[in-house]
Structures are given as C-alpha cells and as structure tokens.
A and B are shown apart, each in its own frame.
Chain A
Amino acid sequence: MQQLLKKAQRGDAQALEELFFMHEALLYRMAFLYVKNEEDALDVMQEVAYRTFKNIKSLKNVKYFKTWITKITMNCAIDHIRQNGTAISLQSEWLENTKQISETQEKEIILKATVEDLMNVLEVEEKSVVILKYYQEYSFREISELLQLPLGTVKTILYRALKKLREKAKEME
C-alpha cells in the first residue's frame, strides 16, 4: 500500500487508479448518505475521481491519502447538494446541548440507527461527523481539522446527531 501511495504521488497514473478504486465503494456509500439517491451519488463520484486526479500533487504527505480523498468526497457531495438548490446550513445554530452521552448509550443509539435514519434524520454536518467518527474512526481532533471546525463544535454536532437518532429510535418502538 505504501509503495502504491509513493508511486501515485510521483505521478504514476496506474498506481493512483489502483488506490482510488480500492476506496471507491466506501466513498460511494458516503456520497449516497448525503445525496440520498444513486444517480446523484454517481455524479458525485465522477467529480471525486476527476478532482483526485487533477489535484494529486497537492497531497503533501502520502499517509493522509484516505483522509484527503474522504474530504474531497464530502466537498463534492456538499457542492452537488448546493448546486441542486437544497439549502445547507453549514453554520446552523447549534443547540447548546453539551450534555454528555455515555459510551454505552452511544453504542445503543448507533446499533439502533438505520441507514434511512442516517440519510433522512441528520443534517449535512451531522452526517459528516457521524461518518467520520463511527465509520472512519477518526478522533474528535482529527475531525475538527478535517472539517475545519472548533473541537467543541464537533462534539456538539455529534451529541445533537445522537440525540436525534435516539429520538427517532424511540418513535419506532
């Protein structure tokens, strides 16, 4: 994998293609969560592939390839939603819900949440944080750097997302 990354950054198109296609399913599923349908998710992925190949030289350290391509996917998905006229509240007013949720409760909430819940209940920034925390397993600090949000804001967004998912799960019981 490291060899592939180094070759890709040196401009080896074959290596870059191989790397990209190793991640395409994961990235597609992320894109789908944002845009909620297959056709738009495919549009997003085409743009992700295009930007990855156009901008590979801007990746300063090959060990961050996955983080870099994850960020491209999120940006493309959000750009796509914007272009199609759906309002996105990137700076929406955070509920001051800093009440801590225990790890046990977190597990329970994520276990009960369905893909439909993730797609339809959560706002864009909430999806981003949930995917990065529980699917890509980034730390809060890494998420804060990736999304360029303060650490406290990332935590608030996550707890708000978990609260929404918990309430949705209760409705279904």
Chain B
Amino acid sequence: MPPRFVALLAACAFAALPALAAAPELQLVIRDHLFFPSVLEVPAGVKVRIVIDNQDPTPEEFESYELNREKVIPGNTKTVVFIGPLAPGEYPFFGEFNVRTAQGKVIAR
C-alpha cells in the first residue's frame, strides 16, 4: 500500500478514537425493594452505562416509559443497561415487580 494511504488510514483511526471512549458508568443498587440512589444525575447528550446490582433475593424489573427501557434482573445478580444520549430533563423509572416502593428518576443536565 502506498505510504500516503497508510498515513491517511492511521489519521482516520486516531480521529475515531474519541468515539471508542467508554460511556460513563453509574451504579444503581436495589435493596429492600428500593433504588439506591433514587435520583441519578447524568450528563445530557451522552450515552451512559448503568450497572444495576439487585441485592434483594427476589427478582426486579427495571422499567421506564420515558427512557424506553425494560429489563428483568434476577435476585442477587448484577446487570447492565445503557441509556441516552438524553435531552436535559427528568426521566422517572420504577421497579415493576415492587412498583409502590421501587421508584426513582434520572436527571440529565
């Protein structure tokens, strides 16, 4: 391959590096059918990786209509959910299996 072509490829690869940067990660714990923390602050316009740790022995379903997310998390297991990029605002979520207590919201700034 001609050297100029190789140089161009390398320049493109370096330019693409920021896109490969990992999404910011947040921890969410489910304990006693409650979310800790119940308010998650995330940067707006960025994809966010949420690690949900269900510390209850029973399963929970993390769900949000505004975020369009829904995932069943078996008891004593951990899982990952990606949200965003989000416009600034508030996005409530809840635990569908214990909907009266497990409630929280994501605030994007």
Tell whether A pairs with B. no
Binding site for B on A (CB under 8 A): none
